[in-house]
Amino acid sequence: MAIKDLPREECYLPGSAACPGCPATMAMRIVFKAIGKKMVMIVPACCTAVIESIHPKTSFNIPTMNIAFEAAAAGASGVEAGLRKQGREDITVVAWAGDGGTYDIGIQALSGALERNTNFIYICYNNQIYSNTGIQRSGATPYAAWTTTTVRGKTEFRKEMGEIIQAHHIPYAAQACVAYPEDLYKKVKKAKSIKGPKYIEIMAPCPPGWRFGMEKTVEMGTMAVETGAWALYEYENEKVTFNGKSKLILDGKIERKSIEDWIKYQGRFRHLFIPKKDVKRLKEIEEHVDKIWERYRACYL
């Protein structure tokens, strides 16, 4: 499927409060197209709570419920039960949260909803920071990245949320990226067709958060995949299948690009290059990514 073949109907309306180049809105537009109007969305505290614009207006043409930061998955469980009780199982319930609301404060409610087999799609748009509060570290922030709470660079590596999700043995999970809308569309479409808990995480490079130009969102997303900093895959029936460039990297058909080629365009890693190159930390980053791919190959090849 090509972009031109996506449904024309837009449920993401013009006039939102998103930053220019916002990856969340790019992803959301595709998600709305994939699911259609028979959808209810639950949004915890995250950029989307701002993007949706100011009461009494809205930029979403689908019913949306805002809920507390840590409560998206639990709120979705309630919405799903309420709709089911009214015989509305035709409606897709979507929890739409950022990485802060997913990796950190919301992980308990998410784990609970997955374990309870809640019939919903949980989507995490991952921009690797608490962006709505102005760029603080999250459990998804990569090693050495600057944030306002890691001023000399984060000293820990990020969590592997995908593997935590897999430990719940849900029917479907996937990793996608805003730079590959057709792939995202397909994954959301598939998730919609499966009953039970589904989890999709979307890599969402954030221009103001990562400190790159607003025209480079797609490029930063593509590079995230090509460097192996982010992997595209599906987890279905206990089996992980890599796809796109990530599959080629996994199979050893292409070499992943150097992380340096990706992060040198991001102001959040500037301190690794200026005033002089931080060879030690750059090496640690590359080695860490290599280690992840070694594990991927051991587990999924």
Provide the 10 A C-beta neighbour count for residue 10: 11
Alpha carbon distance 141, 127 (integer Å): 8
Alpha carbon distance 221, 265 (integer Å): 12
- CA distance from start to end of the chain: 27
Contact region with another protein (CB under 8 A), list: 109-117, 133-141, 192-200, 219-227: 109-117
Contact region with another protein (CB under 8 A), list: 32-40, 154-162, 192-200, 215-223: 32-40
Q: Does 24 bind another protein (CB under 8 A)?
A: no
Return the residue matching tokens 């600057």: 146
Burial of 65 per CB tally in 10 Å (0-12, 13-18, 19+): middle
Contact region with another protein (CB under 8 A), list: 83-91, 163-171, 211-219, 225-233: 83-91
Q: Does 52 bind another protein (CB under 8 A)?
A: yes
Q: Does 115 bind another protein (CB under 8 A)?
A: yes
Q: Does 91 bind another protein (CB under 8 A)?
A: yes
Q: Does 49 bind another protein (CB under 8 A)?
A: yes
Provide the 10 A C-beta neighbour count for residue 20: 10
Q: Rank residues 56 and 275 by Cβ distance to another protein and give the closer one.
A: 56
**Least distance (Å) between residue 25 CB and another protein:** 15
SS3 category, 82? helix
Give the amino acid at 133. Answer: T
Q: Does 170 bind another protein (CB under 8 A)?
A: no
Contact region with another protein (CB under 8 A), list: 38-46, 151-159, 219-227, 270-278: 38-46
Characterize the bridge pairing of strands 172-177 and 121-126.
unpaired
Alpha carbon distance 60, 53 (integer Å): 9
* Residue 150 · residue 137 · CB < 8 Å: yes
Q: Does 86 bind another protein (CB under 8 A)?
A: yes
Q: Does 111 bind another protein (CB under 8 A)?
A: yes
Q: How many angstroms separate the Cα of 256 from the Cα of each of 11, 84, 172?
A: 36, 45, 26
* Residue 272 · residue 278 · CB < 8 Å: yes
Q: Does 136 bind another protein (CB under 8 A)?
A: no
Q: Does 55 bind another protein (CB under 8 A)?
A: yes
Characterize the bridge pairing of strands 198-203 and 121-126.
parallel
Q: Does 60 bind another protein (CB under 8 A)?
A: yes
Q: Rank residues 98 and 244 by Cβ distance to another protein and give the closer one.
A: 98
Peptide bond into 56 cis (omega under 30): yes
Contact region with another protein (CB under 8 A), list: 104-112, 156-164, 243-251, 259-267: 104-112
By CB under 8 A, name the one of 37, 169, 291, 297 that touches another protein.
37
Q: Does 77 bind another protein (CB under 8 A)?
A: yes
Q: What is the largest CA-CA distance in the chain?
A: 63
**Least distance (Å) between residue 60 CB and another protein:** 6
Q: Does 64 bind another protein (CB under 8 A)?
A: yes
Which residue ranges make up the site for another protein (CB under 8 A)? 37-40, 42, 49-50, 52-56, 58, 60-68, 70-71, 73-86, 88, 91, 108-109, 111-112, 115-116
